[in-house]
Structure 1
Amino acid sequence: MAHKGKIQLLITFVATPDKVAEVDRLVASHGAWMAEGHHRQGPKALLSYNFSKGPELKNPLDPASAPTGNTRYVLNEIYESPAGIADHWQQSQKSWRDFPAMAATLGSCNPQTLHGGVIAQSLW
C-alpha cells in the first residue's frame, strides 16, 4: 500500500555493543505495546510499523564498507494523520512501562528523528 501524503515518525540511533541487549529488550517491549493499543482505523490509525537493526558501517554511503562494531536501529512508523503521532506520544508516556527506559537509552545513542514528516513519494 502506498503512503504518499501520510505522516511519518522516524527515529534512527546507534548503540554500542554494551547497549545492544537492552535495546533489543526495549524493541521487543515496544512492538508488543504498539500492537496492543494503537488505532487501526480513522485519523489516528497506525498504517505501518517497522523497527529494524543492522551493523553501523564505517562509510555509511558504501554498503561494502566495514562495520564499526556498533549497531544501527531504525524505527519507522506511518500514521494516517498528525493526530496519530500526537496520540502515540500521549499513549507512550501514560501506558508504556518502558517509556522512561527507552527515552534514557535513546538519549545515550545519538538519536536522529523526523517527527511528523509528510511522505513525499511512496510505492505499493
Structure 2
Amino acid sequence: MSETGRTNIVVMWTVGPDEVAEGDRIFASHAEFMTGHPREGEEALLSYEISKGPELSDPVDPNSSPTGNTIFVLHEIYQGPAGVPEHWRLAIQDWVDLPAFMEWSKRNKVSTLHDGVVVQSLW
C-alpha cells in the first residue's frame, strides 16, 4: 500500500561507540512504548522502524571506510497530521525513558524531519 500523502517523522542520530549501548536500550524502550499508539483513525500509527548501521567516511559511497560512529534512524508513518502531536502527548504522558532519550539526543548529532509528508511511496 502506498503511503503517499501520509505524515511522517524521520530522525537520524550519529553517535560515537560509547553511545551505542544507550541507543539500543532507549530504542528497545521506545518500541515497547510505541505499541500503545492508536492503530486506527486520523492519529493512527501505520508504520514504525528503527534502523542502525555504520557511518561511512563518504556517505554516498557504500564502499568507503566506516568512521567508527553508528547511525540510528527512526521512521514513523501516521495516517495524518494529527498523529504527530498525539505521539508527543503520549510520550510526555506515558514514556518513562523520555528524559533519558532527550539527554542522549543532546549528547549526539541529530537531524530531524517532524511533520513531513510522504511525497513518493511505491508500495
TM category (shorter chain) comes to: over 0.9
- Residue 31 of structure 1 corresponds to 31
Would you identify which runs of 4 or more consecutive aligned residues in structure 1 move more than 3 Å? none
**Paired residues for 1:113-124 under 5 Å:** 113-124=112-123
Q: Residue 26 of structure 1: SS of its match in structure 2?
A: helix
- Residue 8 of structure 1 corresponds to 8
C-alpha deviation, 1:74, in angstroms: 0.3
C-alpha deviation, 1:66, in angstroms: 0.4
Q: For residues 31-84 of structure 1, what are the alpha-carbon distances to aligned partners after superposition, in whole Å with 9 as ceiling and x for unaligned?
A: 01101x100000000010000000000110111110001100000000011110
CA distance in structure 2 between the aligned counterparts of 1:114 and 1:51, rounded to whole angstroms: 15
**How many equivalent residue pairs?**
123
Amino acid at match of 1:81: G
C-alpha deviation, 1:2, in angstroms: 1.1
- Residue 41 of structure 1 corresponds to 40
Paired-residue identity, %:
49
C-alpha deviation, 1:18, in angstroms: 0.5
Amino acid at match of 1:72: I
> TM-score, normalising length from structure 2?
0.98
CA distance in structure 2 between the aligned counterparts of 1:120 and 1:15, rounded to whole angstroms: 29
Q: Residue 82 of structure 2: SS of its match in structure 1?
A: helix
Amino acid at match of 1:39: P
- Residue 64 of structure 2 corresponds to 65
Amino acid at match of 1:76: H
Q: RMSD of the alignment, in Å?
A: 0.6
C-alpha deviation, 1:25, in angstroms: 0.4
C-alpha deviation, 1:93, in angstroms: 1.1
> TM-score, normalising length from structure 1?
0.97
Amino acid at match of 1:32: E
Q: Residue 71 of structure 2: SS of its match in structure 1?
A: strand
